[in-house]
Amino acid sequence: MGRIPLATSDKGLLVHLAAWYSKRRFGKVVEPLGAMSHHRGVLATISIMEFGVQRWHRLDPTLQCLAQIGAASTIGCSWCMDFGYWEAHHRGVDLAKIEGVPRWRQSEIYTDLERLVLEYAEAMTTTPPIVTDGLAARLRDHLGDARMVELTELVAVENLRSRFNSALGLESQGFKAECPLPQRG
């Protein structure tokens, strides 16, 4: 249960449209929307930003998801971890990599580039950020400038989401449980 009411009824056209879109895309009204429904300006601004973020595709889906889950894991946002798993599932990302993020340093399943992305997400998310010139240079060597900018902004956006959700007490909403288990051959 959130620290403020999570209602979307009787809040005006923008909130109703956002709730309709959420139900259509995710099968339910996402709780951050319920929280944001108390402030139409915040809801409108974040909605526009999120529609823009959905159109970023310079990084492959695995790196995008690892960057976001890495930040959410560092912050400890269970809502974002839950939703991130669902998102990764629907984007065809190897879910073992998503589940392993909290223990990525001990795992053998990540490529060198994936490890750099996770290290970067963690370094950006730590307060204060501890990104070094060396880490940024290694990533830039792999990614180039445009993908480096996309990666950095994805981690920054996830910090915004995770900190908002955590501060308002939003917890897992059951997205991971909705993902079908892979069939065994």
Q: State the number of CA atoms in the 13 A half-sphere of 49 facing the CB.
A: 13
- Predicted confidence (pLDDT) per residue in 44-73, tens digit: 999 999 999 999 999 999 999 999 999 999
Helix/strand/coil (H, E, C) string of the chain? CCCCCCCCCCCCHHHHHHHHHHHHHHCCCCHHHHHHCCCHHHHHHHHHHHHHHCCCCCCCHHHHHHHHHHHHHHHCCHHHHHHHHHHHHHCCCCHHHHHCHHHHHHCCCCCHHHHHHHHHHHHHHCCCCCCCHHHHHHHHHHHHHHHHHHHHHHHHHHHHHHHHHHHCCCCCCCCHHHCCCCCCC
Considering the chain, what percentage of its residues have pLDDT values greater than 70?
96
Structure tokens at 84: 């991130």
Confidence of residue 7 (pLDDT cuts 50, 70, 90): confident
Question: Mean pLDDT across the stretch 122-127?
Answer: 97
Lowest mean pLDDT among 6-20, 32-46, 81-95, 147-161: 6-20
Question: Token pair 């915004």 is at which residue?
Answer: 160
Number of Cβ within a 10 Å radius of residue 164: 18
d(CA 70, CA 86): 15
Q: Which pTM was predicted? A: 0.93
pLDDT mean across residues, the chain: 94
Question: Mean pLDDT across the stretch 18-45?
Answer: 94
- Tell me what pLDDT residue 116 has: 98
- Tell me what pLDDT residue 182 has: 59
Q: Above 80 in pLDDT, residue 181?
A: no
- Tell me what pLDDT residue 2 has: 84
- Tell me what pLDDT residue 183 has: 52
- Predicted confidence (pLDDT) per residue in 77-95, tens digit: 999 999 999 999 999 999 9
